[in-house]
Amino acid sequence: MARHLITSALPYINGIKHLGNMVGSMLPADVYSRYLRQRGHDVLYICATDEHGTPAELAAKEQGLAVDEFCAQAHDAQKAVYDGFALAFDYFGRSSSRENVEITQHFARKLNENGFIEERAIRQVYSPADSRFLPDRYVEGTCPHCGYDKARGDQCENCTRVLDPTDLINPRSAISGSTDLEVRETKHLFLLQSKLQHEVEEWVSRHEEDWPQLASSIARKWLNEGLHDRAITRDLDWGVPVPADTWPELAAEGKVFYVWFDAPIEYIGATKEWADATGGDWKSWWYDVDADVRYTEFMAKDNVPFHTVMFPATELGVREPWKKVDYVKAFNWLTYYGGKFSTSQKRGVFTDQALDILPADYWRYFLIANAPESDDSSFTWEHFTATVNKDLADTLGNFVNRVLSFSRKRFGEEVPAGAEPGEAESRLGEEIARLLAEYEEHMEALQFRKASAALRALWSAGNSYLEEKAPWLEIKTDKDAAALTLRTAMNLIHLYAVVSEPFIPATSQAMREAFSLTDDTATWVTQEEAKSLSSVPAGTPFTVPPVLFAKLTDEDLAAYKERFGGQEA
């Protein structure tokens, strides 16, 4: 079995993330990781909070906290939410860790030795009101490309164009709001990406045909526009320090590395954190392992350029055999009624709020079933309610409840024996095996919406069988036939428990625990097992679990829309 290294884009430290962040990186990575583990693969799923940069300092200042204290608290708050969503990270680290500092400084030294870092004097925005140079995100203004009036000095979040602070129209300090800004000379380190253009192009060309069209088109767009040398240091109090043994003057001035230089390196840093905490071998996943490890990254489209072009350029320039990504699973954006999620405008659902309303499995299933893979998708409460009621409550939950409840009522608390399987059971087994193969195919291809549809079809097949056999009628004329139908349906419930686990882990556990199977160690279902539907034998004790999914009412829908906003943007 292959070894699979999986990372999802690092959630930024300044606040709890909304549902779009969840479905654009961490949740699909978790679903895929869970699936691979079930299929017997060796998996390492790594993530971390991205803690450096301007927003962290600004958020700490707003709360009156030292930035390190703010980041520690925010890390724990985010980790609690991800635990609530049952994200099964092997390790969830911090980019401010000692390990990341050491590896980032190592990368910088190696890039410098190889001629890919240059110290340059540049003219940078200085704020007399704040008595400091302003890093890019400390400068706000109007984007010269799209006219968005809250663009930051590094990137416009509206049109995603990369910017320099001096590009902005009507710039102002993000600290004081002062428009009395000057441009003064200061020194920074530049990564000479232009010298690595050809190598990055060759590397991308070897991979882009395998990547989703979204990822490959973004990478190709950046390469066609040409790679520019980029400043990789900033004037900040919080970040990975420029090493004094290599750049003593800049270190004395307190320069730190740009967050987008050290953040991707934190994938490696967090793996070393994991190794330091568990005794694992972090280099066996990252160093000189190209043939041994398949590395998959999950991210939304605004992160794609950094992971398909900028970070590979860094790794190539180090001239060491660091593992590079094999597959980039890129997502479009999840919108809220066609507009942006906004904390300030109280529009949209944030992940902590979601868990306050309903258990994680409601959200996990809906988000993956509607993942923005081919284009942007829109969250609406109407769609969410309809999906929960139809797929989760009716198709899956009601099937489980009525099968187990009816069997307990008519046959007691053990799986009934009944007749031998007949033609209907044979047809059902073939259909389940076919749908399971389809589900596996889509999961292997990381096509989550299609995998969700195949999983839903598996659930529907059970309902169709139950309607065809109608055990509530069979019981009146042929008790053994009714017992066979119920035993077969119970085997379907167990199969659903196993194969649904990547999507709805808590519900899957509840379904599995309904049966007292002392030797139930199955991690997956083979095609033959799917055809025979015999893993839960007659005589197995069972219980009826509580309602798996409660239906959402019109009153629930109205309350959600009122609380979170439900109008078209």
**146 carries a ligand binding annotation:** yes
Q: Write out pLDDT tens, residues 69-93.
A: 999 999 999 999 999 999 999 999 9
Segments in 287-346 forming alpha helices (H)? 304-305, 311-318
Average pLDDT, the chain: 94
Token pair 């306050």 is found at 356
Helix (H, G, I), strand (E, B) or coil at 175: coil
| 8-state DSSP, 498 | H
Give which of 465, 391, 387, 386 is closest to 425, Cα–Cα.
Answer: 465
Other CB atoms closer than 10 Å to residue 398's CB: what's the count?
Answer: 16
Token pair 């598996």 is found at 458
Using a CB cutoff of 8 Å and minimum separation of 24, what contacts does 155-160 make? Answer: 155/302, 157/302, 160/301, 160/302
pLDDT at 290: 78
129 in Cβ contact with 142 (< 8 Å): no
Percent of the chain residues past pLDDT 70, beyond the cut: 98
pLDDT at 344: 57
214 in Cβ contact with 305 (< 8 Å): no
Torsion of CA 299, 305, 309, 312, to 10 degrees: -30
Tokens of 254: 């307190």
Phi, psi of 330 (to 5 degrees): -100, 145
Task: Sketch the domain layout of the chain as residue ranges.
Answer: 380-532
326 in Cβ contact with 318 (< 8 Å): no
**pLDDT tops 50 at residue 569:** no
Q: Write out pLDDT tens, residues 268-299.
A: 999 999 999 999 999 999 999 978 999 999 99
Full DSSP string of 110-142: HHHHTT-EEEEEEEEEEETTTTEE--GGGEEEE
Q: Whole-model pTM?
A: 0.92
Q: Write out pLDDT tens, residues 369-419.
A: 999 999 999 999 999 999 999 999 999 999 999 999 999 999 999 999 999
Nearest-angstrom CA–CA distance, 310 and 368: 28
Q: Write out pLDDT tens, residues 24-69.
A: 999 999 999 999 999 999 999 999 999 998 889 888 988 999 999 9
416 in Cβ contact with 483 (< 8 Å): yes
How long is the chain? Answer: 569
**156 carries a ligand binding annotation:** yes
Q: Write out pLDDT tens, residues 245-271.
A: 999 999 999 999 999 999 999 999 999
Instruction: Decide if domain 380-532 falls under CATH 1.10.730.10.
Output: yes
Nearest-angstrom CA–CA distance, 414 and 430: 26
145 Cβ contact list (under 8 Å, min separation 6): 156, 159, 161
**47 carries a ligand binding annotation:** no
